[in-house]
Structure 1
Amino acid sequence: MFVFNHFNVDDHRISLLLPEKDQAHALFQVVEADRDELRKWMPWTDDTKSERAEAKFIKYIQGRMVEGKVFMLTIAMDGVPVGMIDFHNIDHADRHAEVGYWLSSRVQGRGIMTRSLKLMIDHGFKSMGLHKILIQVDSGNHKSDAIPKRLGFSKEAVFKEQIYFHGEYRDFVEFGLINHVNSDDSKIGK
């Protein structure tokens, strides 16, 4: 198990781990327990029907990570997976990426996702050389849109009827954060 980073919340150890197939069982259990809530916001929920499907997804993500297309981490509390966070749609030429995240409802409200995202932002700007990080949130998901607001992201756009989900078109709000520390492009990667 490779620990990317860790921090403490209350009396719990939060670890950001590279995804591994042995996490599939625990991640699937979280999805099963929170299926109704996750289904409101996450289109992939209906496709996650078994531990085997979760293991297949992890194997797929590992391949995408090797290709540099995705950077995903499992969020674990006291060694037990409770969610995931990732960079996807990584654009190396224009140096931006989008963030996605989800967390078990039983551990929400403790600042875990905010701190996890902060570590991802630091990694994206300092290690990956990103210039901009984007987050798209369903306009009705107020818990999720509070996180980028808390971390200084700016609301950049509202995409009306952006996605067809559960029989209706849904609006997405896009938030962006620019790396002003490395705004001189000639310095990045040197």
Structure 2
Amino acid sequence: MFVFKQFNIDRHQVSLLLPEENQAQALFEVVEADRNELRKWMPWVDDTKSERSEAKFIKYIQGQMVAGKVFMLTIAVDNMPVGMIDFHQINQSDHHAEVGYWLSQQVQGLGIMTRSLKRLIDYGFNEMKLHKILIQVEAGNTKSSAIPERLGFIKEAEFKDQIYANGQYRDFVEFGLINKADGRHS
């Protein structure tokens, strides 16, 4: 198990881990327990049908990470996987990437995702040399929108009928954060 970052919140130890197939069972159990809530916001939920499908996804992500297309971390609280956070759509030539995240309802509201995202941002700006980080959130997902707002992201756009999920079109909001310290901003 490779620990990328670790921090404490209250009495809980939070670890950001590189994804490994042995996390598949715990991650699938979280998806299964939170399926109805996750389905509202995450189109991939219905494709996660078993521990095996989660393990296949992790193996796929490992390949994407080696290729430099994705940087994903498993979020573990007290050594139990409870969610994931990632950079995807990594664009090396324009120096930007998008962030995605999800977290078990059992540990929401503790600041875990905000602090996890803060560490991902630091890594993106300082190690990956990103100039800009983007987050796209479905317009009605106020909990998820609050996270980038807390960290200084600016709402840049709202896209009408952008996502088709669960039989309907939905709007999404895009937030952006620019690395002011890199000297490449206008």
Q: How big is the shift at 1:171? A: 0.2
In the alignment, what sits opposite 1:58?
58
Q: 1:4 deviation in Å?
A: 0.1
Q: Where do residues 15-164 of structure 1 align in structure 2 (5 Å cutoff)?
A: 15-164=15-164
CA distance in structure 2 between the partners assigned to 1:81 and 1:66 by the alignment: 22
> Shift of residue 109 of structure 1?
0.1
Cα distance in 2 for residues equivalent to 1:37 and 1:22: 25
Please state how far the C-alpha of 1:175 moved relative to its aligned partner. Answer: 0.1
- Distance in 2 between the 1:148 and 1:160 partners? 20
**C-alpha distance in structure 2 between counterparts of 1:71 and 1:173, whole Å:** 22
Q: Structure 1, residues 30-81: CA drift from partner, whole Å, max 9, x if none?
A: 0000000000000000000000000000000000000000000000001100
Q: State how far apart, in whole Å, the 2-side matches of 1:184 and 1:157 are.
A: 22
| Contiguous gaps of at least 5 residues in structure 1 | 186-190
Is the partner of 1:99 in helix, strand or coil? strand
Report the Cα distance in structure 1 between the residues aligned to 2:55 and 2:184, rounded to whole angstroms.
41
Q: Matched residue of 2:180: which SS?
A: coil
Shift of the alpha carbon at 1:183?
Answer: 2.4
Please list every run of at least 4 consecutive aligned residues from structure 1 whose deviation after the TM superposition is greater than 2 angstroms.
none
Shift of 1:25: 0.2
% identical aligned pairs: 74
Cα distance in structure 2, aligned partners of 1:155 and 1:46: 29
1:173 corresponds to 2:173: yes
- For 2:12 and 2:154, the matched residues in 1 are separated by 31
Deviation at 1:96, TM superposition (A): 0.2
For 1:169, give the aligned amino acid.
Y
Structure 2 partner of 1:188: none
Q: Secondary structure at the match of 2:181?
A: coil
SS in 1 for 2:182: coil
SS in 2 for 1:43: coil
The question of whether the paired residues in 1 share the 8 Å contact of 2:131 and 2:184 is answered with: no
**1:168 & 1:149 partners in 2: Cα distance?**
27
For 1:159 and 1:183, locate their aligned partners in 2 and report how far apart those are by CA, in whole Å: 30
Counterpart-to-counterpart distance in 2, 1:119 and 1:163: 28
Separation of aligned partners in 2, 1:98 and 1:184: 19
Deviations 1:93-118 (A, max 9, x none): 00000000000000000000000000
Alignment TM-score, normalising by the size of structure 1: 0.96
- The number of equivalent residue pairs is 185
Q: CA deviation at 1:90?
A: 0.2
Query: Which letter does structure 1 place at the counterpart of 2:99?
Result: V
Q: Give the alignment's TM-score, normalised by structure 2.
A: 0.98
Gaps of 5+ in 2: none
